[in-house]
Structure 1
Amino acid sequence: MKSFESKSNKQVFIEGIRDGFPIALGYLAVAFSLGIIARKSNFNPIQGFINSVLNHASAGEYAVYTVVAAGAGYVEMAIMTLVVNARYMLMSTALSQKFSSKTSMIHRILVGFTVTDELFAITIKRPGHIKPLYNYAAFLIAVLGWSFGTAFGIIAGELMPIRLVSAFSVALYGMFLACIMPEARNHRIVTVLIIISFILSFIASQASIFSGISSGTKTIILTVVIASVAAIIFPHPEVEDDD
């Protein structure tokens, strides 16, 4: 099997489209529910589409639509979006280690912009170094599904029962599990860490001591703690730079 470094740009782009297509289908369904919320916040389909292109995270978009509906200002909107999306800074930092040392800063920044939970999952499990073009291709097809899903949800409005629309969100969780389970089957440590993450996330969501902390902040804290402890106890062997 060819490494990413030895593949042509065309091959890398096709693989990115291929891997991003199932994610796009999941996003298309899930974004419907966000479209319903956006409609109630007086967003039109074009505004919803543009917002999804620029803010391609369910929690971040939900925060925007919520604060807009509440009549909040731009400062509150910016702070809320920063808090709920802060975990992507951690993902971007981890993902930057997958690139060759010769990868330019502009590519690193642009790839950081494309990061979502699912795109991070399919990229981080790639062996060796990867080309930014793979991320761009996967993001291109995925963000189209996400943005069109939001626009379609706004158009649908309240024509579709809320329970049916909400049921689409199950697809997102199933899709993310499909991304992490292969790695869990190959590495027992990953399996244990996933189980621990589920348990700690449930405790954090139920314990009264954490009731004053937003879900986004809880995610950040748990990610930092679990990842740091795992890195210290089970360090990953370094990948040699062949360039």
Structure 2
Amino acid sequence: MYIKKLDKPSASSPFWEGVHDGIPIGLGYFAVAFSLGIICRSSGFSVFQGFLASLLNNTSAGEFAAITLIGAGAGYLEIALVTLIANARYLLMSCALSQRFSPDTPFYHRLAVAFAVTDELFGIAIARAGALQPMYYYGAMCMAIPGWSLGTAMGIIAGSQLPGRLVSALGVALYGMFLAVIIPPAKKSRIILTVVLVSFAASFIANYWDVLAALSGGTRTIILTVAISALAAILHPVK
């Protein structure tokens, strides 16, 4: 009987490319999650509870908001509504990401990828040329999710012992990841560069414009994303 020998994953396979691209994201998440761990500890979470919460909730703003409300003794409905609003932008990201898959991609792959749609993972996935391969996203997830959950656990254990300035400095790593996501495509396309600069300016104005400043950060992000991307699509449609 002939048994086909399975090929070992090569360093250039989509999965390992995802692992490679996900390493800086995981490291950034680990650093930022320290501050989340401090909040978890002050809200009465054990190390295991904080780890499990971050393992099952791959979101920064939403989890920060939820943990803070739990510490304040908020009700289930309030926590659910705030989390929904804070994470609403991922609805847009999921719509955009679903269009990058090949039409014959099975539903279970789409469902698994939807478990970890974050800003940074979305950024590296959407920037890849051609159809998005689920194995690439899985590779990035394998780095990002442990970084976030382990960072939270370590933050609960040691975060309260670190100087406040050091914890704040660790948070800068996340902004470095955002720059790493947007700079390469912006250097290749003046249209993307213009959209990025307009987004920066619009986000800054929205923080001080009374009409939008009263809204949550997630809601402002949705409004600006829809408005700016729609305008860019009208002015410079992709053939």
Q: TM-score range by the shorter chain?
A: over 0.9
Contact 2:35–2:159 under 8 Å retained in 1: no
Q: Which residue of 2 aligns with 1:226?
A: 228
Contact 2:34–2:159 under 8 Å retained in 1: no
Q: Which residue of 2 aligns with 1:175?
A: 177
Q: Which residue of 1 aligns with 2:206?
A: 204
SS for the counterpart of 2:115 is helix
1:100, CA displacement in angstroms? Answer: 0.6
Contact 1:9–1:133 under 8 Å retained in 2: no
Identity %: 55
1:9, CA displacement in angstroms? Answer: 6.5
1:216 and 2:184 correspond: no
Alignment map for 1:20-35 (pairs within 5 Å):
20-35=22-37
Alignment map for 1:11-160 (pairs within 5 Å):
11-160=13-162
Contact 2:159–2:167 under 8 Å retained in 1: no
- Separation of aligned partners in 2, 1:50 and 1:62: 14
Which portions of structure 1, spanning 4 or more consecutive aligned residues, are displaced by more than 4 angstroms? none
Aligned length in residues: 231
> Which moves more between the two structures, 67-76 or 156-165?
156-165
- Separation of aligned partners in 2, 1:211 and 1:118: 25
- Separation of aligned partners in 1, 2:229 and 2:77: 31
Contact 1:114–1:135 under 8 Å retained in 2: no
Q: Which residue of 1 aligns with 2:4?
A: none
Encode CA deviations 1:139-197: one digit per residue, 9 max, x unaligned.
Answer: 11111011100100011142111221012111101111111100000000111111110
Q: Which amino acid in structure 1 is aligned with residue 16 of structure 2?
A: I
Q: Show structure 2 runs of 5+ residues with no match.
A: 1-7
- Separation of aligned partners in 2, 1:73 and 1:235: 45
- Separation of aligned partners in 1, 2:193 and 2:131: 24
Encode CA deviations 1:37-58: one digit per residue, 9 max, x unaligned.
Answer: 1111111111111111111111
Q: TM-score, normalising length from structure 2?
A: 0.93
Q: TM-score, normalising length from structure 1?
A: 0.91
Contact 2:39–2:67 under 8 Å retained in 1: yes
Cα–Cα, structure 1 residues 201 and 62, in superposed 2: closer, same or farther, change >3 Å? Answer: same
Q: Show structure 1 runs of 5+ residues with no match.
A: 1-7, 238-243
Q: Which amino acid in structure 2 is aligned with residue 88 of structure 1?
A: Y
- Separation of aligned partners in 2, 1:210 and 1:178: 28
- Separation of aligned partners in 2, 1:9 and 1:191: 36
- Separation of aligned partners in 1, 2:57 and 2:238: 32
